[in-house]
Each structure stands twice: as C-alpha cells, then as structure tokens.
Structure 1
Amino acid sequence: MIENEHAPANLAAARLASVREKIAAAAALAQRKTEEITLIAVSKTHDAGAIEPLLEAGQRVFGENRVQEAAAKWPELRERYPDAKLHLVGSLQSNKAGDAAALFDCIHSLDRPSLVKALAGAMDKAGRRIPCFVQVDIGEEEQKGGCAIADLPSLIEQARAADIPLAGLMCVPPAGIEPTPFFALLDKLAMDNGLTGLSMGMSGDYEIAVKLGATHIRVGTALFGARE
C-alpha cells in the first residue's frame, strides 16, 4: 500500500533523472555545458496531481499549450512552488495576450505582427517585459503556426521596436522526417538575426537538438508518459 502511494513520485523522479542524463550525455558529445540547456516539462493536458511529482523531484520549468488550461491549474501550484516558471509553448491568440502576459514567464510562439502589437500592449499594461521566442515555420507547413522564413527579419525588427525581449527562435520540425536539417537551419537563422536562444527538440528528438545547439527543449511524453 505504501509503495503504491509513492509510485507516482518515484516514477516521476526516475523519468526526470533519465531525461537529464540523456541531456548531459548529448551536451558532452557537443562539448557543451549542461547548464546551458533549459528543460521545459510540457504539462499540457496533465492535471496538478500529475505535475506535482515532478515539482517534488526538483523540476521547475514547465510548458503549457493553452492559456485557459494553464490559468485553471497553475495559480494553486505556484502557491506551493513559488519558484516554478511557466512557459507558453502553444500558439497564442491576440485576444489572449493580456492573460498570457499575466500568467507566463516566457512565450515561445510569437509569430505575426498583430501578436507583436497585442503582446507589447499587454506587457505595458502588466508592467513587465516577458521574453519571447519567435516561432519559425521551419518546414513551410501551413497547418502549423510560425513566421515564414522570408518574413523573419521584419518580424524581429518589429518586436525589437516594440521593446519585446527576444529570447531566440523556436521551431517544430515536420513530423516523421529527420529533424537535423531543420534544427541546423534554425541555428543559422538565429545567428543571422543576432539571436542566441534556440527552443527546439521534443521527446523524440531532444538529444539531436541538444547536439545542434538547443538552449530550451520541450519534453512532455518522456516525463509524463504517453497521453491518453
């Protein structure tokens, strides 16, 4: 009975340790320092009961896809873990910019001029500047969010003019295709535009992303298990 009560916590700690070990090994192969890489535990669709074991195991940076979902579960969790950081890793509607500016510590989906305007206004109103990654449509997939590569310099210029702190670039490569060329392209685009942060790599490819310079990796399944 006692073992069952602690099983979720033990499993969470084991999964977290495994992911961290793989990050460290990939970083070592690339002659990088592990502390250069931020592990974001993507907790979308998971309730507070599934998130807390990872918090107890020491994970402090989490990612959510939807503003409304995050608002429902994170205020209470943050009361107990005030040092937890919350990143928005899903697309953001302009009319939710105010809520996002109040709730999140970082946004990974800045992808269009209208959102630059909405976020700049929301940050002014909230009295805080929130680092943002510009999401790039790296695989030219219309169904995914992201700024077209050709429009990237203009969008970056608009964000800087609006005093939005730019953390770097973010991408989601096409599914089922070797991600290496897409990660390498994102790295080049970041360098060309004077940015250093790279939000890339998920459960299936984060080790490759680390080897290719990722500074932020977004891992869900490897930490929480498969979603129902």
Structure 2
Amino acid sequence: MPMIEQDDAAARLADIRTRVTAAARLGGRDPARVELIAVSKTHPVEAIRPLIAAGQRSFGENRVQEAQAKWPALRAECPDLRLHLVGQLQSNKAEEAVALFDAIHSVDRESLAEALAKAIGRTGRAPTLFVQVNIGAEEQKGGCAIDALPALLARCGALGLTIAGLMCVPPAEGEPAPYFALLAKLARRHGLPAMSMGMSGDYETAVMLGATHVRVGTALFGARG
C-alpha cells in the first residue's frame, strides 16, 4: 500500500477520533464508550486496508452479498476485525448475516426477528442486535414505527433475542439533535444501553447526546464509488 494512502487514512482517522473524544467530553461521557464504525460500503478492499493499518477495527457494510465478497480475506489478514451490518436485512438473508456479522443494526420487524432467532439457533452465533427505529416517520426509510417499538421489543424478548440498543437515521433535512434526543429517550424508557446514531455530518452531535456507536463513511473514505 503506498505510504501516502496510509498516511491520509491515518490522518483522517486520527481527526475523527479526536472529534469523537471532544464531543464525548462535552457531553460528560467517557470517550472509550463510543465505538467508531467505519462504513466501508461500496469501497474496495484497497481502500479499507489503509484504515486497518492505521488501527481501525470496526467496519460497517450495507449488504450481505458485498460483505461476503470483501471481508473473509480481510479477516484472514486481521482476525480481530469487528463487522457491523448497518443496512436493511431481508429475512431470507438472516442466516448468512448471522454467520458473517458481529452486530446487526437493522432489526425492524417481527418476521426478521423470528428469522434471526432461528439463524442464531442453527449457527450458534449471536451477533449484537439493535432495533432500528424510523425516528422521523419517513415512508422511504426502514425501521419500526415509534409506537410499534414496545411490541417489537417484546417479541424479540419472547424469541430469546437480546437487544443491545436502538438505531436511527434522522431525516436528511433539518437539525438532527431532536431526533437523537428522542432515540435516547426511547432507549432509556426501555432500559437499552446502546444507541447507534450519527454519521459523517452529525456524529459529534450524536456523541454529545449519548451515541455509543457512530457510523462514519464519507469522512473516512471520501465519496462513495
């Protein structure tokens, strides 16, 4: 890997980590409790390796098939990588997702929860699970409706699934802070410690408002291919 690419990756990563640390301290939080997920969707392994070399270990992908093509080889090179599914998941891909990912951020309906429970039972792997909430009630986005959240969490519990926390993607227009604050309120109401919220344009705000996982792509990789 050309040294300049490694240096650029290390500089971008260091800058974002510094910003996460500052935001956490402003929010009165421990920076070590925030996991930075480098969202590598659509980026090739050649773009990922410099970040691994710079010390990044958590990565996010949107699609099972793309992850299957990229990550087995990268994990063979670096076994301590942690892989997150941050995109929508079809129920018929549940077993493949459970086999590959260490965390799934997009549990949003009972049928998917049922498929995941079966896959976990068959494979013996139990990824960290987040319920995705459609925090802005946007028809074009995934996530369960806010008023459907209690029932979905209850169904997950009945299936034996452990839900670590909630995930959201706020509306692209407008200020994200109220949506992050609402997700934090919902997480507290349901006794869930983890919150996956915040992307390249708003991760600092998310961290100040309680994010435990931030999903940063463009700020680390540049524009998607």
Same fold (TM over 0.5): yes
Amino acid at match of 1:167: A
Task: State the match for 2:161 in structure 1.
Answer: 164
Deviation at 1:7, TM superposition (A): 1.1
Q: 2:140 aligns with which of 143, 163, 166?
A: 143
Task: State the match for 2:93 in structure 1.
Answer: 96
1:110 lines up with 2:107 in the alignment:
yes
Task: State the match for 1:65 in structure 2.
Answer: 62
Deviation at 1:127, TM superposition (A): 0.8
Deviation at 1:5, TM superposition (A): 2.2
CA contact (8 A) 1:130 1:164 kept: no
Q: Residues 41-84 of structure 1: CA distance to partner in whole angstroms, max 9, x if unpaired?
A: 00000011100000000000000000000000100000000000
Amino acid at match of 1:170: M
Deviation at 1:145, TM superposition (A): 0.3
Deviation at 1:140, TM superposition (A): 0.2
Task: State the match for 1:221 in structure 2.
Answer: 218
Q: 1:128 aligns with which of 119, 125, 129?
A: 125
CA contact (8 A) 1:184 1:212 kept: yes
Runs of 4+ in structure 1 over 4 Å off: none
Task: State the match for 1:48 in structure 2.
Answer: 45
TM-score (norm: length of structure 1): 0.97
Deviation at 1:180, TM superposition (A): 0.5
Q: Distance in 2 between matches of 1:75 and 1:148?
A: 35
Deviation at 1:176, TM superposition (A): 1.8
Q: Residues 78-134 of structure 1: CA distance to partner in whole angstroms, max 9, x if unpaired?
A: 000000000000000000001001000000000000000000000100012221100
SS at match of 1:133: strand
CA contact (8 A) 1:40 1:219 kept: yes
Q: Distance in 1 between matches of 2:44 and 2:160?
A: 34
CA contact (8 A) 1:130 1:165 kept: no
Q: Distance in 2 between matches of 1:160 and 1:56?
A: 39
Matched residue pairs, number?
225
Amino acid at match of 1:117: E
Q: 2:81 aligns with which of 76, 80, 84?
A: 84
1:11 lines up with 2:8 in the alignment:
yes
Amino acid at match of 1:124: G
Deviation at 1:227, TM superposition (A): 1.9
Deviation at 1:194, TM superposition (A): 1.1
Q: Distance in 2 between matches of 1:5 and 1:85?
A: 25
CA contact (8 A) 1:97 1:119 kept: yes
Amino acid at match of 1:47: P
Amino acid at match of 2:96: D
Q: Distance in 2 between matches of 1:84 and 1:135?
A: 23
Runs of 5+ consecutive residues of structure 1 not aligned to the other structure: none
SS at match of 2:2: helix
TM-score (norm: length of structure 2): 0.98
